Structure 1
Amino acid sequence: MDQLTLGFISAYNERVEPFMNGTIKVDGVELIPTYSHPAETFWRQLKFGEFEVAEMSMSSFLIARSQGADMIALPAFPSRRLFQTELSYHLDSGITKPEDLGGKKLGVAEYQQTAALWIRGILEHDFGVSQYKIHWYMERSEEMSHGGATGFKPPEGISFSRIDRSKSLKSTLMAHELDVAHVSSPWVRQANTLDRSSRIGGDDLSKIRPLFPDRMAEGARFYRKHGFLPVNHAYIIRGDIHRQHPWLAAKLYDGFVRAKALANQKLTEQIPTALMFGQEYTAKTRELIGEDPFPFGIKANRAMLDMITGFSCEQGLTPRKMKIEELFAESTLDT
């Protein structure tokens, strides 16, 4: 079989890095890696379809597929986070707990991003705060956003505004122009062409507090209730490549599985020595959320997929609840 050369774009991720750097190989396939900030990756792929294989926002993928976008996903989920624990509020907002967010101004980088989808769903279903009772503010501009590539329009009944281009989530929260904002994402400090918070901010954090002071406690609560951690991204294959090479999806999925297994084997070796109690923290994390909090495959993720597709439809991002069979490559449906 001739060698198939594929462009592969992704952020650095320890569970995927063995695949990106060539330690894990797939017979008959040569991957040409491009490392990129997720926000830029998704925008480029949604707008231009540049790469044959790409990391992709789960929420934007659901929207794009509902519109007939020519891409198919693999059930390899490199990124999971407890997005509600990344919210911070201003002390003068009168907020002391999640249930206080009704009637408040809440800022996110992008309304349709996966983080915002999970935040809305969790606030509504776990804390009783309706998405329609919150005033939503978005940092990204229309032209430089994932929504700009998918034709985003604010869902009916939602209070929606954009943050002035001279400002950012961080600066508006510090000035108490927002009551609460998603400013603790691990990506927010990394410069990219879509987000402004890495460039426009401030240093006075004296009145900024985390909505969940004990992130581990909230993470344990969510995991006990739902049995999974919320997925952020997946990997997609461009549709033309998938049709030309129907064997490819299963091969790539196997590569992702092997890469994650190798990364897990080396997990304890990767704990920075500066973290004096890193070993203990790792053990505590495993105690709270299990040995493998990043499961791949359909079977292990069915409850999560049911929830995220339900949230997407419920929030008016997709016109109907998308089916697993129309999202993932057929050869991966039994994984």
Structure 2
Amino acid sequence: MSDVPLKIGCMKYDRTRALFDGTVEIPGADAVFEDARLASDVFERMVRDQAYDIAELGLTFYLRTLDLADPPFVALPVFPARHFRHAAVFVNTKSGIEQPEDLAGKTIGEFGTYGHDAGVVAKGVLADDYGVTPDQSHWLVGGVDEPMAPFGFVPFRHPADVDVTPAGRALGPMLATGEIDALISGRVPQCVVDGDPAVGRLFPDYETVEREYFTRTGSHPIMHILVVRREFLAEHPDVVHATCRAFGEAKDAALTQYRRGALGQHVELMIPWFTPLFERDDRMLNGDWWPYGVEKNRDTLDTFLRYFFEQGLGDRRRTVDELFT
């Protein structure tokens, strides 16, 4: 019996590289992998054209497809990207924003759309921990370092009581000149990378803040999820299960490589002090850095679902089990 043709769209991360180079294979599948310049390019191809059988999709974008009359995808409990997002809040240093509460009444930019993955988490944390809610600010949405209309492959949705408009210009330069006071973005603006003194982070010591957040909540926020076309799942459930296992093997292979690298102080990376960082992270994450599966991620996913609903991005508050086959 011939292998099933399988087209997968995802980014080439350390935890997926073994799939791209063939070190980890998917039994029963003739798999072809495709990445892109930006993860959002993969998202758009999947949502707009269903260009893949299985694809990485931003969690907020997947949730928006569930409100369609005929939802085209089912989530798989594989999470290719997760990230703490205190570091994703940038400010103009002359805006008067010295603490999170100072965001109230300010004009804030957001990358891509109102409610991209980093934005959902950052706004949720600001509301939970600091009492700062989106309706207290004015929002401009667009590209970070180049002008970009809001993503057109999902509805441009926001609550009626939240003032949101397309920016029309690049948000990074607007932050540097003070035309906006703050910016929430999973992509770091070039002005921040360049060390422009006019810009900085809301949480300058974001590592300490994010480690405290993880210690307190146990949540390592999920940004992206793997989804499968419903028709493909119905026709080839064994291949879909094999794909989940293969993504898990590829993730484990990356972590194994880091652990083996510790024997030589990670000389293959040549990043100064990477080994003590690895050891500190390994202790904090209890050796399971990027867990897949539903149960290990139930609380983290439920928190995202609560944020999504509270921010007016979904028709109702969904449960974790609704997301998966």
State if a TM-score over 0.5 links the two structures. Answer: yes
CA apart distance, 1:97: 1.4
Indicate which of 63, 73, 76 corresponds to 1:74: 76
Cα distance in structure 2, aligned partners of 1:252 and 1:155: 37
Cα distance in structure 1, aligned partners of 2:205 and 2:157: 35
CA apart distance, 1:202: 10
Task: Give the corresponding residue for 1:114.
Answer: 117
Matched, 1:154 2:158: yes
Q: What does 1:274-313 correspond to in 2, within 5 Å?
A: 274-313=270-309
Q: Deviations over 1:253-308 (max 9, x none)?
A: 11111111111100153676432211011112223343223111001000011111
Give yes or no for contact 2:44–2:153 (8 Å, CA) kept in 1: yes
CA apart distance, 1:120: 1.2
Cα distance in structure 1, aligned partners of 2:210 and 2:195: 28
Matched, 1:178 2:180: yes
* Inter-CA distance 266–123: structure 2 relative to 1 (3 Å threshold): same
Letter in 2 for 1:226: T
Cα distance in structure 2, aligned partners of 1:276 and 1:72: 42
Cα distance in structure 1, aligned partners of 2:206 and 2:171: 21
* Inter-CA distance 226–108: structure 2 relative to 1 (3 Å threshold): same
Task: Give the corresponding residue for 1:55.
Answer: 56
Task: Give the corresponding residue for 1:333.
Answer: none
Q: Deviations over 1:153-178 (max 9, x none)?
A: 322211112112xx212111001011
Task: Give the corresponding residue for 1:320.
Answer: 316
Indicate which of 87, 91, 96 corresponds to 1:94: 96
* Inter-CA distance 93–145: structure 2 relative to 1 (3 Å threshold): closer
Cα distance in structure 1, aligned partners of 2:192 and 2:134: 27
Indicate which of 101, 104, 107 corresponds to 2:106: 104
SS of the aligned residue for 2:71 comes to coil
Letter in 2 for 1:45: M
Gap runs ≥5 in structure 1: 189-196, 330-335
Indicate which of 218, 224, 227 corresponds to 2:209: 218
Cα distance in structure 2, aligned partners of 1:25 and 1:232: 25
Letter in 1 for 2:53: E
Cα distance in structure 2, aligned partners of 1:58 and 1:182: 17
Give yes or no for contact 1:6–1:52 (8 Å, CA) kept in 2: yes
Task: Give the corresponding residue for 1:169.
Answer: 171
CA apart distance, 1:327: 1.4
CA RMSD of aligned residues (A): 2.3
Letter in 1 for 2:127: E
Give yes or no for contact 2:142–2:148 (8 Å, CA) kept in 1: no
SS of the aligned residue for 1:92 comes to coil
Task: Give the corresponding residue for 1:125.
Answer: 128
Letter in 2 for 1:264: L
State the TM-score, normalized to the length of structure 2: 0.90
Cα distance in structure 2, aligned partners of 1:221 and 1:296: 23
Task: Give the corresponding residue for 1:65.
Answer: 66
Letter in 2 for 1:73: A
SS of the aligned residue for 1:149 comes to coil
Cα distance in structure 2, aligned partners of 1:73 and 1:284: 32
Letter in 2 for 1:242: L
* Percent identical residues: 23
Indicate which of 230, 249, 253 corresponds to 1:239: 230
Gap runs ≥5 in structure 2: none
Task: Give the corresponding residue for 2:248.
Answer: 257
State the TM-score, normalized to the length of structure 1: 0.87
